[in-house]
Structure 1
Amino acid sequence: MKVVFLTAGAAGMYCGSCMHDNATARVLRASGIDCVLQPIYTPIRTDETNIAEEQVFFGGIHIYLLQQTPWIRFVPPSLRRILDWPPLIRLATSRAMSTDAAKLAALAISMLKGTEGRQAEEVGRLTDWLDTQMHPDVLVLSNLLIGGALPTIRKRLPNTKIVVLLQGDDIFLDHLPDAARAEAVELCRKLVASVDRFVVNSRFYGDKMAAMLEIPPSKLTTIPLSIDLQHFSPREASSSQSETFRLGYMARVAPEKGLHRLVDAFIELATQQSHSQLTLEVAGWLGENNHAYLESLRQRISKANLSERFTYHGSPSLSQKAEFLRTLDLLCVPTEYEDPKGLFVLEAIASGVPVVLPDHGAFGELVGSTGGGIVVPANDHAALMNGIDRLAKDYSLRQQLVASGIANVVEKHSIEITANRLKQLFVELTSDS
């Protein structure tokens, strides 16, 4: 079976979806499927071996210029191909240029229009490649926002089954200006007819996206979120609690991930005598546009005379991330938005670290499935602080959560399980042709 997996690169930053797509494609290959991982927009950046193709379709520089300066389409395609050269794209995105959804509204809508948009030539190039070189049995897209070409692909490759993963499309759409959002949602709804199956990682997200995009239930499949367990393992169990209690955060350092909420809880707890050994350990990718945000948090911590109990560990590699997690006693990422995935949740639990999370998005289902932590009411400072306080003081409860979490992550959330479920879906779809 031949599968082509289109994954949207996220400029120069680590992206949970990209990393999950890369791991899934790698395991699909190992299972005997001829799987090609093809980047869209930019080369992907992962924290493990990257198996993606070097070439890029809909190169970020190229499609942006086609949108902003349409006359560039009159430049011979052979000359414009330099704009899709991966090293050039990496250079242009190395400083993590802004991807403000509001500013990119016109481009997003044009891309969703497919052959009716300003990137129509690129739609043709991708379709030609699929038709003349790949001949896939199944085409997988990492999100629907890159799906403007699907009606054209459906006409050219009528026997190819089309699967779309929904894993954060709404977050981008919700940041668009109201008029642009309404138009983009309507364009996405029109694409639903070209898709054979949508895959989500939680019932919450399936229900949300089905309502937003008018997806019939027969086109929705839920496959639980997963991670590659070979990279994560807990530290050796101790018979007693250490003096220092390391409260951790591991996600992008950005306001929407809620680090400021965790800092507020940390400051209030750490100034209490019962939490005199509490430290805050933060790791995660930091974009240029969020340096001021991190600095403002440092200043708040400094004013509370807690600077010596706070550390930002930078953006860790895969091995560094695994080691960082093993040093923690508790993980908390109090996101402002309803996260549809939460890979860091599974990574922490697999590393023997219980979690405290807001009860929204997919978090409730992940905690319920693993038993590896607790959830508290979202956007509630007192509830967040009390949840951290409770687990920090109850060593026995933390150990129970660790034992339950590890066992359930292994049983229900390994990347092999996801790959096998996807493989079964591909077989089901292709056997129906």
Structure 2
Amino acid sequence: MRIAYLTAGAAGMYCGSCMHDNTLARAMIARGADCLLVPTYTPIRTDEKDISDDVVFFGGINIFLEQKLPLWGRLPHRLTAWLDRPGLLRLATRKTGSTSPHLLGALTVSMLQGMQGRQRTEVDRLCRWLQTHAAPDAIVLSNFLIGGCVTELKRRLGVPIVVTLQGDDIFLDFLPAKYRAMAIDRMRALAADVDGFIVNSRFYGEKMAAMLGLPAEKMHVIPLGIDTTGFLSDAAESPQDSIADPASPLRIGYLARIDPAKGLHRLVDAMIELERTRQPSDRAIHLDVAGWLGEQHHAFAADQWARLEAAGMAGRYTYHGSPDHDGKLDFLRRLDLFCVPTQYEEPKGLYALEAMATRLPVILPAHGVFPELAGENSAVHLVPPGDAAALAEAIRTLASDAASREKLADRGYRAVVGERTVDRMADQVLQLLNDLADGGKPVDHSAARR
């Protein structure tokens, strides 16, 4: 099977979605599929080997100019192609987080209008390239926000089209109400030309089906899986240093984008509460933070460091920057606990799976995909969302109980190895695509969650 997998780049940021798209595409290739990973907006940035094609469609600069200058789209592509160069796209889009919601709203709606939008020449270029250079048997889109092209793709190529839903609602909620409503209307209309939707959790499938009016038969729950290589080798064989040495500070880690939505401030709230109520017998705790920090969130991060210092915790927190793959593994292996207390309802939880694969005990808010990650065996310790006192108490309890940490870490580790590998996910995605290409009734992949 030849698959065209359209992924959305996120400029210079390590983006969990495009990193996982890269991992999944690589796993499908290993299973014999001819999978082309095709970037849109910008080149992707991944902490593993990048297997994406060197072409970029819907390049961020050109679609912006087409939106602002309607005549720009009539120029021959040979005159505008230089604006899609990877280095230039990374440089020009490094501050995308500060883009006006109003402008993003108009651009999003126009993109979803496909051949009727201002980016129609980009849709035509993508269709022609797929016809002449790729000739796929199936097309996968990494999100529905780039789905304005599906009607034209269906008309010209006539192959199954599958869309992964993984955070589309979060972007839509950022838009002004008028544009959010218009975008949802367009997505509802486009859904008729989509053969199937992949979601990584029951929660998100139900949420997006309700938002977009999607029929149940088009929804396929395929749990997120990760490449466990490297995470398990050393961590599975030896306990964390501080478990062996209770006198050392317990290290709790956060590895995600530095962004209020990811809830770093909630973890800081809990750390301050722990310090305020600390007893002489309580174990010292050190906060380790890593993740991409965009310019638009520098003030937010600085405020968190200032709050910790004002609470008397200077020297008991460390920001490690945005690590590459090896740096990520090293960071996780130095921790004793892991927590990303998101504000929003997380649809995937990639970072949680990586921590679980490193055999770390994980604390997460009881919303979004996280209860499904915990499962019946309580592979994750869940706390009420937004409750700093409950989070602090969970940290305090686990900090003082090495046996409980070991049991929680072991349950999480076994859950990932048994149910959440990228190989298993690749098998399920390929089965779905083959079923759709053969015209048969797709297997109910939601059975994997039961």
In which range does the TM-score fall when normalised by the shorter chain? over 0.9
Specify the code of the residue in structure 2 equivalent to 1:21: D
| Displacement after TM superposition at 1:373 (Å) | 2.1
Q: Counterparts in 2 of 1:9-408, with a 5 A limit?
A: 9-94=9-94, 98-99=98-99, 101-158=101-158, 160-233=159-232, 234=235, 236-237=238-239, 240-243=244-247, 244-271=249-276, 272-273=278-279, 274-368=281-375, 371-408=378-415
| Displacement after TM superposition at 1:173 (Å) | 0.7
Match of 1:428 in 2: 435
| Displacement after TM superposition at 1:384 (Å) | 1.6
Deviates more, 1:127-136 or 1:137-146: 127-136
| Displacement after TM superposition at 1:24 (Å) | 0.3
Distance 2:312 2:12 in 1: 35
Distance 1:141 1:266 in 2: 40
Distance 1:30 1:390 in 2: 43
Q: Deviations over 1:309-347 (max 9, x none)?
A: 110011111111111111111111111101101101010
SS at structure 2 position matched to 1:22:
helix
Is residue 251–residue 344 contact of structure 1 (8 Å, CA) maintained in 2?
Answer: yes
Specify the code of the residue in structure 2 equivalent to 1:90: R
Deviates more, 1:402-411 or 1:67-76: 67-76
Distance 2:192 2:72 in 1: 32
| Displacement after TM superposition at 1:395 (Å) | 1.4
Distance 2:406 2:414 in 1: 13
Is residue 3–residue 35 contact of structure 1 (8 Å, CA) maintained in 2?
Answer: yes
Percent identity reads: 51
Structure-2 change in CA distance of 1:74 and 1:373 (3 Å): closer
Structure-2 change in CA distance of 1:72 and 1:313 (3 Å): same
Is residue 283–residue 400 contact of structure 2 (8 Å, CA) maintained in 1?
Answer: no
Is residue 371–residue 408 contact of structure 1 (8 Å, CA) maintained in 2?
Answer: no
Instruction: Provide the TM-score with structure 1 as the length reference.
Output: 0.97
Instruction: Provide the TM-score with structure 2 as the length reference.
Output: 0.93
| Displacement after TM superposition at 1:102 (Å) | 4.3
Match of 2:448 in 1: none
Distance 1:74 1:249 in 2: 47
Deviates more, 1:363-372 or 1:167-176: 363-372
| Displacement after TM superposition at 1:387 (Å) | 1.7
Distance 1:105 1:224 in 2: 30
Is residue 95–residue 296 contact of structure 2 (8 Å, CA) maintained in 1?
Answer: no
Specify the code of the residue in structure 1 equivalent to 2:252: L
SS at structure 2 position matched to 1:51:
coil
Task: Figure out how many residues of one structure are paired with residues of the other and give that number.
Answer: 432
SS at structure 1 position matched to 2:229:
helix
SS at structure 2 position matched to 1:199:
strand
Ranges in structure 2 where 5+ consecutive residues have no aligned partner: 441-450
Ranges in structure 1 where 5+ consecutive residues have no aligned partner: none
Specify the code of the residue in structure 2 equivalent to 1:157: L
Structure-2 change in CA distance of 1:405 and 1:266 (3 Å): same
Deviates more, 1:189-198 or 1:227-236: 227-236
Distance 1:150 1:202 in 2: 24
Please provide the CA RMSD for this pair: 1.5
Deviates more, 1:380-389 or 1:96-105: 96-105
Distance 1:173 1:59 in 2: 20
Specify the code of the residue in structure 1 equivalent to 2:288: E
